[in-house]
Every structure is written in C-alpha cells, then in structure tokens.
Amino acid sequence: MAGLLSVGARAMFANQAALQTIGQNIANANTPGYSRQSVVLTTSPGQYTGAGFFGRGVDVKTVERSHNAFLTKEASTSKSTASADTTRAEQLSRMEKVFQPGTEGLGYAASQFLNALVDVTSRPSDPSARQVALGRASELATRFSNAGAQLTDLQSGVVSDLRASVQVVNQLAQQIAAVNNEVAKTQGAGHTPNDLMDQRERLISQLGEYVAVSTLPADDGTVGVFIGGGQRLVLGNQASQLQVASDPYDTQRAVLALNEGGVNRALDESVLTGGSMSALLAFQNSDLQDAKNLLGQLAAAIGTRVNDQNALGLDLSNPPGAGAPIFNVERPRVMPAATNARDPGGSFTSGAQATIVDAGRLLASSYKLTSSAPGVYELTRLSDGVTRAVADGDTLDGFRLDFTPSAPVPGESFLIEPVGAAAVGMRRVLDSPNGIAAAAPLTAAAATANTGTLTIDSIYAVDPSIDTNLAPMTITFGDTDPAGDPTATRRQYTLTLADGSVLNGIWSAGQPIGNEPAAGIALGFELRTNGVPRQGDTINLAKTVYTTTNNGNAKAFLNLQADAFIGRQLLADGSLTVGSTINDTYAAAISDVGARVQSAAYLSEVSTGVAADAETLRAGQAGVNLDEEASRLMQFQQSYQAAAKVLQTAQTLFDELMRLSQR
C-alpha cells in the first residue's frame, strides 16, 4: 500500500507542478520578453525486489525555459541596428526642412537680391530702388542665419537626446548588475532562475536599442556586457557609468565617455556600431557638419563676392568712395584640442589662424591640423581624407594658414572650419542705400566719328589692382587679324594709357578688353562691347565723374547669378576648375541632403523589417502558444485526475485492509 500511495502522491505532485507551470505560461503569454517554461519530468529509480524492479513513480527534475541563444542574440542585434537606422532617418528628415526648395529656399532669395539690382542698374540714383535692394539683401542674410540657427538647434537637440539616453543606459546597466547579483546567489542550487534570466535578457535587449552591446557569460551565471568594441559596461554585479562629454575641439558637440575608476575614457564613434546613440553621434559628426559646411560655403562665397564687387565700385557719398561691405562674412573657426599645451593662465601656448583669401575656392569641408614632429605639419581635408604637408603662411582651398602666437608642437592638433559658421553669422551690415556702389570707377564712350557698329555694353572693375590714374585711356582698333581677311571677326587694337604707354591686343566678339593677363593686359577692369568695330574706330575711357548716372558696377552684380564662381579648385598646373553657380550650388546641396534622407529611410525600413522577422523567430521559439498550452493543460489535468484516482484506490485498499485486520 505504501508503494502505491507513494506513486500516486508523486504523480499528483508532478502533474500539479506541470499545471502550475502551464498556468504561469498562460498568465505571461503577453508579457514582453517572457520565455515559455516547461517542467522536466524523470522516472524515479525503481525499487528492487525478488520479483524484479518496481517503479516508484515520477520526479520533477527542474523547470526549464524555452530559449535559443542564437535567436535571442540575432533579435537583439537586429533591433539595435533598426534603432540606429530609424534614429538617423528621423534626424535627417528634420535637417531636410532646413534646405527648402522653391520660393522658400536660399537660391530664390539670392536671385531676388540680384534681381533687385536690375532696378538699381536702370535707376542708379533712385533711393527707392536702392532701398529695395538692401531689403532683399537683408532677407537673404536672414534666411542664411535662420538656416544656420536651425542646424544649431538640431545640434543642441542631439546633445539633449544623448544626455537623456545616457541616463536610461546607466539605469539599465545598474538593473542588469542587480539581476546578475541575484542570479549569482542561486549558483549551486542546480536550477536556473528562469524569470531572472528573462528579465536580464529583456534589459540587455532594451540596452541594445541605445547602444550596440556584446555579452559574455561567466561561470557564476552572471553575464558581462560590453560596448564600443570591448569596453566594460557591466561585469558581475558592477556597472560602469556612461557619460556625455564635450568634444575635444568643439564644446557645442558631444562625445560618449565611459567612466571607470573615476577616469573618463572617450568612445570612438566608429566602434559604436548600433543603437540610437551611435546614430546620433554619426548624424552630429557627419550629416549635420556636412550640412553646416554646405550652407557655409554658399554663404561665404556669396557674401565675399558681393562685398568684393561693391568695394570695386563707387557709392553716392560726397566725394564718392569705394563701396562698403554689404554682408558680414564670419571668419573661419580654428579650434584647438583640449589637450594642447597651456600656459599658467590657462591660455593655449600655440595656435593657428585661418583667413579667407579666395572665397570662390572654399570647399564644403572641415580640416584637421596635426603636428607629428618639430616643424612637420599635416592638414587633412575631412570631406575626402586628403592629407597635405603645410607650413606657416601656406594658402590652400581658398584660405591662408598662419601659426600664431607660436607654431604647434608635436602632439598638438586643431580643427579648422573655414565655412562652418558662415551661414549662422551672415547678416546685412550696410544700412545706407547710398552705400551701394552702382557706379564703375571708369566710364567708356565710343567716339562719335566711328564708322563701325561698335557700342559700349558695360565696363566695371574686376580686380582691386585697378588704377584710375592711368585714365584717360584710348582704345584704337586697327587691321583685322589675320591681316587682309575682310571676313575675320578678330581685330587688332592698341590701348594708350595716360602716361603714353601702349598695350596691344586682339579683339573678338564677346571678349572683354582690359583684363587679359595671358596677353599682357591686366588693368583690373573689363570693357564689354556690342557690334563690330572698323579700322580707326576708338573708345575713350575716363575716370567716372557723375556716379548718379553710372551703372557699370551694378551690371557686374547681375553677372553673379550666371557666374560659376563657387567651389573652384586649384589644379596641379595652376589653373582653376569651373565652379558652380549660386543656384546650382544650392540645388546640389538639396540633392545631397535628399539623397541621404532617401537612403536613410530605405535602410530604416529594411532594418525594421529584419528586426521584426528576427523577433518573430525568437518568439516562435520562446513565446507562448495559447492553443498549445490549452491542450497541455487538458493533458496534465487528466494525468492529475488519474493520479488522484490511483491515490484514491490505494486509500480504499488500505481502508479495506484495516477493516479486515479488525475482525
């Protein structure tokens, strides 16, 4: 009877444990991260008798969870990648709004400003036309500064998001360490704490949404969590603290650092391969900086070119003078590394300075200056990685580099942004309408006795080297070139200066006179004509006397719209490549940003789908199927009832045996 009672009791307990586990599964069917649990039953060792081995029932060995380490890792990794792609796509979509097309865009504002100068060209003495031009200039500068401010706000948002994410990461790391501690306490019991294991995996999965992690199990049941290519975040029951630190060059930007033993160790962005924080850093250091440089290149080129051209003309002041700057053009930013040497007062002992010398050659890029040995300096263009040896006073990519107050020493470095702050710092600085220098310093007139059809189209200064003291000048056209060909469109001419010196050149239709360095004529102005001269025809050039009726320099402004002066590069032979016009440059910037947005959106869609599939596979292995649990519930319910029947039968037999013994 004792054996039968024992078998029945063991069976009831085993089935009760199974029913309890099934109830746990059903209760947590919708709990995120829960892994289905099942009771492992084993047959109790048989009891030997002379008649053979008799079974002693069933034992509950343990409760295990349905878990696949590979699928769990894949689900966590794909979720981390999807989080990074989604975050970058969201940030890029915000940045795209800065580059407005159509009438809201910067290209349109630049065209409106240059078109406003058409009225100044028609009526150079009209104050209202000049005031409208200044208003358009103000609108253009405001659009640039607003766009730059929006990018600055995006940068501030990135830093704010990083700080919020770091707080969550540190909390998750502390919770993982606490779970590790609880798991370690159960070591030696022979059973795994399933709920704690699920909780830890869920926390690690949540952590992966912020930063890509790798895990390493330990013998005591704990799991080490590492980030950034092997940097310890959680080890055993100890968690390190992640912090947001200032960029070593630019305090407006942020970097991630891991605090270990009171020492902050910066994490390289390149090793943070997933999670929203790695995407924020990549957006900050690449996409956002590129956008600042694209806008800055356009702002610096337009502002400098307009200011230079205005300085070449004459304004309406009395006496007339060179035009004042219309726009403020920010100086290039040179930011020393925080680790550079300082004097006792905290100032850097060495430094570098960048000065714009040719805005048309400025590129949409930042640069890094390093010193590897005494007197050895390298400048790396970060947009394409090109590295060049430089020296104090060198000029490259449109800016000059000077070492002041002293040259950098080995180990020091500087971040140079020639155009990074140009957009946000752009503003109109000319307030007086009379300051628009619409008049050219020289006036040209065709002689009345000319017999050809030659007329004056425009004359304006193109170089600060123009010397009006060389006027009056006379241009006299001679034989056709080649001589004796009456159908030739080229004609020789002589240019006689006020001091009596003579310059010889060749005229052809559409070719300006006065600025032909290759022909030995570099007088700093361009005279453009219409029609065809005949032999003996002359043009007289004199200093401009009446600035109110002269519109030569205003016509030069109109040419800026079609002039490909932005982004020219110096070739090895000393020539310059053809740049881009204002509209083409802005359209290229919109295209660049749009391509990034589309690419990021596509990657986000793909990686989100991959993450969903990976989670489906993991859930299919570890998740709870209510239909399956319902069938198992009926199975073990019947088993429990059968075991109870065995126990009831044993009880009946025992009672009958007791009644027989009483007789």
pLDDT reading at 484 higher than 70: no
Edge-to-edge, what's the strand order for the sheet holding 521-530? 455-461, 521-530, 513-516
How confident is the model at residue 391, as a pLDDT?
A: 93
Peptide bond into 319 cis (omega under 30): yes
Nearest residue to 493 via CA among 507, 510, 514: 507
The pLDDT tens digits of the residues spanning 544-576 come to 888 888 888 898 888 888 889 999 888 888 778
**Per-residue model confidence as pLDDT tens digits over 59-79:** 888 888 888 889 989 999 999
pLDDT digits (tens, 9 = 90+) for 77-87: 999 999 999 99
In a domain, 499, yes or no: yes
Q: Is the domain of 536 the same as that of 629?
A: no
Which pLDDT band, with edges at 50, 70 and 90, does 481 fall under?
A: low
Q: Please check whether residue 560 lies inside any domain of the structure.
A: no
Does residue 527 lie in a domain region?
Answer: yes
Under DSSP, is residue 246 helix (H, G, I), strand (E, B) or coil? strand
Using DSSP's 3-state secondary structure scheme, residue 105 falls into coil
Residue 653 has what pLDDT? Answer: 82
> Is 82 a member of any domain?
no
Q: Answer yes or no: is 539 within a domain.
A: yes
SS3 for 514-575 is: EEEHHHCEEEEEEEEEECCCCCCCEEEEEECCCCCCCCHHHHHHHHHHHCCCECCCECCCCC
**Nearest alpha-carbon partner for 163 in 279, 277, 285, 284:** 277
pLDDT of residue 192: 84
The answer, yes or no, to whether residue 31 has pLDDT greater than 90, is no
Query: What SS3 state is found at 7?
Result: helix
Please indicate whether residue 392 or residue 488 has the higher confidence score (pLDDT): 392
For 620-662, write each residue's pLDDT tens digit. Answer: 888 888 988 899 899 988 988 888 888 888 888 877 777 877 7
The predicted-structure confidence for 376-400, as pLDDT tens digits, reads as follows 999 999 999 999 999 999 999 999 9
Q: What is the pTM of this model?
A: 0.86
Tokens of 6: 């024992």
Checking if the pLDDT of 229 tops 90, the result is no
The reply to whether 614 falls in a domain is no
Which among 511, 528, 543 is the end of a domain? Answer: 543
**CB-CB contact of 507 with 533 (8 Å):** yes
Q: What is the pLDDT of residue 392?
A: 93
Whether 563 is in a domain gets the answer no
Looking at the domain assignment, is residue 20 inside a domain?
Answer: yes
C-beta of residue 57 within 8 angstroms of C-beta of residue 6:
yes
pLDDT (tens digit per residue) in 323-351:
899 999 999 999 999 999 998 888 899 99
Both 538 and 629 in a single domain? no
* 8 Å CB contact between 103 and 298: no
The whole-number average pLDDT for the span 134-139 is 94
Domain count, the chain: 2
pLDDT in tens, 95-126: 999 998 888 888 899 999 988 988 888 888 88
- 663 pLDDT band (50/70/90 cuts)? low
C-alpha angle 398-404-409 in degrees, rounded to nearest 5: 105
CA 88 to chain CA mean position, Å: 9
| Boundary (domain end) residue, out of 543, 574, 595 | 543
On whether both 445 and 535 belong to a single domain, the answer is yes
Domain boundary (543, 578, 602) is at 543
Tokens 């969201």 sit on residue:
90
Cα–Cα dist 213/216, whole Å: 10
Structural domain containing residue 30: 2-64+623-661
Average pLDDT, the chain: 89
> Mean of the pLDDT values across residues 283-303?
94
pLDDT at residue 593, as a whole number = 94
SS3 of 311-324: the string is HCCECCCCCCCECC
**Nearest-angstrom CA–CA distance, 619 and 612:** 10
Contact 17, 61 (CB under 8 A): no
pLDDT of residue 159: 95
By the 8 A CB rule, do 525 and 457 touch? no
DSSP code at position 502: E
